């Protein structure tokens, strides 16, 4: 598009150019600013600057259109524009046309009968359809429209445009709807798709009201509410995905993603934004990824290891709530301890299980703790007290040998100490990165129970994040405990966020699918080709959604909330990104910057 005014020279009577005219001639209109540098129209496409556009139109429909036949086109993850031109046809004119058409078809049928030909089913069906539609038009049950559907696709090179065209055609061909490019009419077709309300292409097909309604274009799901946090951007329509997990029937979520796909990034963003909405957050961190986040937000960070100064005594007892009896609290903690010793000692025989159960009860009795006593102010026993009771019982030699490493051996500093961990802060992180792999399930089990005890003590809105949950799924006792948290958490205003990259281990556990079904929110980021079939089967994904997960970038995937799900892209502000990033290069750069700042101030 040329600016003809800018190129025009204006002279006065003496032949000189007037300065004011030069100024006015140099002004650009808005259309000059918006216009591309150059436009080249070819028979099959238009080159608009560095982009290529190609417009296609629908030329044929099947006899019946299903309700959602246009949905795959609307939700296609490509850059394109759709224009649906609907021109009402006057009923009187349509009825006159139908009268002629019915007479023509009836004449053809009668002519074949006179000549003794076999009945033509195509003519019979056409006659029946015409009569049915004519009756509905006469009774004002239907209206007739001239409908044109034009689709303009874009790309940076011709091969890319050809690929999108082939994909569009394959989608619609499977529904017996056929597309053709507007050959030698690309300019008129392009203008018809622009939001100018002009139909220059005029390729129409007559549709009545019922099939026309199946083309309703606003079918992509929105997950935007008037409260909640920003999870990301809807990749289909660029709307905001605002959602409050505490508005769902349960407050739990599950996140599946391969390493490096942005699951920790997504989780940290949710944590920051949840903290702004008066909720406490507790994290079980297996890789020390949340330390900087805890420091930046004024939270507490506990490093649980064999040499750590932070300890949790598993024999601690919570104070009974008003609706609980001391006997129930004591019985619940004894059951927990039996499960803990089952993990610590590598399994228990039925005889050993009974012995351990009795020994725990007697250990509490040493401290005058029983179902009949008030133990709220009594100092709880330690693991060495349990060992002492066990040594006085028959048939406990094997148990004592396996227990010794926790009381006198290398692992004695881990849990044989009074509790000195306080989780009353708004944000608390427990890291088990420095714990030996063999002890991690034990550590996570103890930490999770300690958190559960604190949660039951005071009713507050809380979010518990269990990162790399496949650690807990390895043991039946820890997996069972995680499931009980997910199932009972709602009563205590608790949401459990379970995150894992090992989908196979998680779903193949007997508690994996129950945890999933007890989670109102599921987040699927990039998936591995080795697990995508299992994910597709579990979440009933379409093939398009399957390939979307395989090809997703960092922070991209599917967001499920109840019965709805959308394709999502997670975005962070600059400040948020500096706090939550897990990219090693960015973390190293931040660490160097902090060190340089410290040295400059010293």
For residue 11, what is the DSSP state?
A: B
The pLDDT value recorded for residue 593 is: 65
pLDDT band at 47 (very low <50, low <70, confident <90, very high): very high
| Residue 203 CB neighbours (<10 A) | 19
Q: What is the pLDDT of residues 121-160, one digit of tens each?
A: 777 777 777 777 777 777 777 888 889 999 999 999 999 9
**In 3D, which of 260, 282, 323, 218 has the Cα closest to residue 447?**
282
Helix H or strand E segment including 302 = strand 300-303
The pLDDT value recorded for residue 8 is: 42
Is a pLDDT exceeding 60 seen at residue 20? no
Is a pLDDT exceeding 90 seen at residue 72? no
Query: Rounded to whole angstroms, what are the CA distances from 333 to 52, 319, 409, 480?
Result: 68, 12, 25, 15
205 and 61 Cβ atoms separated by less than 8 Å: yes
Strand order in the sheet with 253-256: 240-243, 229-234, 564-569, 556-561, 521-524, 253-256, 494-500, 462-466, 280-285, 427-431, 300-303
Of all residues in the chain, the percent with pLDDT exceeding 70 is: 91
Is a pLDDT exceeding 90 seen at residue 19? no
Is a pLDDT exceeding 90 seen at residue 503? no
Q: What is the pLDDT of residues 526-554, one digit of tens each?
A: 998 988 999 998 888 888 888 889 988 88
Helix H or strand E segment including 498 = strand 494-500
* Backbone φ, ψ for residue 147 (5° rounding): -120, 130
Indicate the pTM of the whole model.
0.64
Rounded CA Rg of the chain: 35
Mean pLDDT of 53-73: 86
Q: Which residues of 95-123 are buried (b: 16+ CB within 10 A; e: fewer)?
A: eeebeeebeebeeebeeeeeeeeeeeeee
The pLDDT value recorded for residue 561 is: 87
pLDDT band at 587 (very low <50, low <70, confident <90, very high): low
Secondary structure of 79-137 in the HEC alphabet? CEEEEEEEEEECHHHHHHHHHHHHHHHHHHHHHHHHCCCCCCHHHHHHHHHHHHHHHHH
Q: Virtual CA dihedral for 125, 126, 129, 133, nearest 10 degrees?
A: -170
For residue 18, what is the DSSP state?
A: P
The pLDDT value recorded for residue 9 is: 44
**In 3D, which of 423, 420, 418 has the Cα closest to residue 301?**
423
The pLDDT value recorded for residue 472 is: 80
The pLDDT value recorded for residue 190 is: 94
pLDDT band at 465 (very low <50, low <70, confident <90, very high): very high
SS3 assignment, position 20: helix
Among all chains, which residue has been given the structure tokens 């390939």? 547
Is a pLDDT exceeding 70 seen at residue 217? yes
Lowest mean pLDDT, pick from 14-23, 232-241, 382-391: 14-23
Q: What is the pLDDT of residues 304-343, one digit of tens each?
A: 888 888 888 899 888 787 777 888 888 989 999 998 999 8
Among all chains, which residue has been given the structure tokens 């028959």? 394
pLDDT band at 12 (very low <50, low <70, confident <90, very high): very low
| Cα–Cα distance measured from residue 56 to residue 156, given in angstroms and rounded to the nearest whole number | 18
The pLDDT value recorded for residue 584 is: 60
SS3 assignment, position 205: strand
376 and 367 Cβ atoms separated by less than 8 Å: no
Q: What is the pLDDT of residues 442-462, one digit of tens each?
A: 888 888 888 888 888 888 899
Is a pLDDT exceeding 50 seen at residue 390? yes
* Backbone φ, ψ for residue 431 (5° rounding): -105, 135
| Residue 592 CB neighbours (<10 A) | 10
| Cα–Cα distance measured from residue 64 to residue 84, given in angstroms and rounded to the nearest whole number | 19
| Cα–Cα distance measured from residue 577 to residue 571, given in angstroms and rounded to the nearest whole number | 9
Q: What is the pLDDT of residues 161-215, one digit of tens each?
A: 999 999 999 999 988 999 999 999 999 999 999 988 899 999 998 888 888 888 8
**In 3D, which of 218, 240, 237, 217 has the Cα closest to residue 229?**
240
Contacts of 196 by beta carbon, 8 Å cutoff, 6+ apart? none
Q: What is the pLDDT of residues 549-567, one digit of tens each?
A: 998 888 999 999 887 888 8
């Amino acid at each position: 598009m040329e600016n003809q005014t800018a190129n025009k020279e204006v002279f006065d009577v003496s032949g000189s150019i007037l300065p004011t005219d030069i100024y006015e001639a140099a002004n650009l209109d808005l259309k000059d600013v918006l216009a591309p540098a150059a436009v080249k129209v070819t028979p099959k496409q238009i080159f608009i600057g560095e982009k290529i556009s190609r417009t296609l139109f629908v030329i044929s429909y099947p006899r019946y259109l299903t309700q959602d036949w246009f949905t795959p086109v609307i939700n296609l993850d490509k850059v394109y524009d759709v224009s649906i031109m609907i021109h009402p046809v006057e009923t009187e004119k349509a009825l006159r046309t139908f009268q002629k058409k019915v007479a023509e078809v009836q004449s053809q049928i009668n002519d074949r009968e006179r000549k003794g030909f076999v009945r033509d089913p195509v003519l019979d069906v056409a006659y029946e359809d015409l009569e049915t539609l004519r009756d509905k038009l006469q009774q004002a049950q239907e209206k007739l429209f001239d409908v044109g559907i034009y689709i303009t696709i874009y790309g940076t090179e011709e091969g890319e445009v050809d690929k999108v065209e082939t994909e569009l055609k394959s989608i619609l061909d499977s529904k017996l709807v056929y597309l053709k490019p507007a050959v030698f009419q690309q300019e008129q077709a392009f203008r018809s798709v622009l939001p100018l309300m002009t139909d220059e292409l005029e390729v129409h097909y007559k549709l009545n009201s019922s099939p026309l309604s199946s083309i309703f274009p606003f079918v992509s799901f929105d997950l935007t509410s008037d409260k909640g946090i920003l999870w990301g951007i809807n990749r289909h329509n660029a709307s905001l995905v605002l959602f409050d997990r505490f508005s769902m029937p349960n407050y739990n979520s599950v996140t599946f993603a391969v390493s490096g796909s942005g699951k920790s990034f997504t989780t940290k963003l949710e944590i920051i934004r949840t903290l702004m909405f008066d909720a406490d957050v507790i994290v079980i961190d297996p890789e020390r990824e949340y330390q900087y986040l805890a420091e930046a937000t004024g939270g507490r960070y506990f490093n649980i290891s064999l040499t750590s100064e932070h300890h949790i005594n598993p024999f601690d007892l919570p104070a009974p709530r008003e609706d609980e009896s001391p006997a129930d609290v004591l019985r619940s903690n004894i059951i927990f301890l039996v499960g803990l010793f089952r993990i610590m000692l590598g399994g228990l025989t039925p005889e050993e299980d009974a012995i351990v159960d009795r020994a725990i009860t007697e250990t509490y009795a040493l401290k005058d703790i029983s179902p009949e006593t008030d133990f709220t102010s009594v100092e709880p026993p330690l693991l060495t007290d349990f060992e002492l009771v066990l040594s006085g019982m028959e048939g406990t030699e094997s148990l004592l040998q396996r227990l010794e490493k926790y009381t006198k051996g290398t692992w004695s500093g881990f849990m044989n100490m009074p509790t000195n961990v306080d989780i009353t802060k708004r944000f608390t992180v427990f890291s088990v990165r420095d714990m030996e792999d063999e002890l991690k399930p034990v550590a996570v089990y103890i930490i999770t129970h300690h958190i559960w005890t604190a949660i039951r003590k005071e009713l507050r809105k809380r979010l518990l994040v269990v990162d790399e949950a496949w650690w807990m799924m390895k043991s039946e006792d820890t997996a069972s405990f995680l499931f009980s948290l997910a199932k009972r958490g709602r009563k205590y205003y608790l949401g459990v966020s379970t995150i894992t990259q090992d989908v196979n281990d998680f779903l193949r556990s007997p508690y994996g699918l129950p945890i999933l079904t007890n989670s109102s929110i599921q987040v699927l980021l990039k998936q591995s080709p080795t697990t995508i079939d299992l994910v597709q089967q579990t979440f009933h994904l379409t093939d398009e959604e399957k390939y979307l997960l395989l090809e997703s970038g960092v922070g991209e995937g599917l967001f499920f909330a109840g019965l709805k799900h959308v394709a999502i892209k997670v975005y962070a502000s600059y400040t948020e990104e500096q706090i939550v990033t897990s990219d090693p290069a960015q973390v190293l750069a931040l660490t160097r910057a902090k060190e340089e700042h410290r040295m400059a101030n010293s």
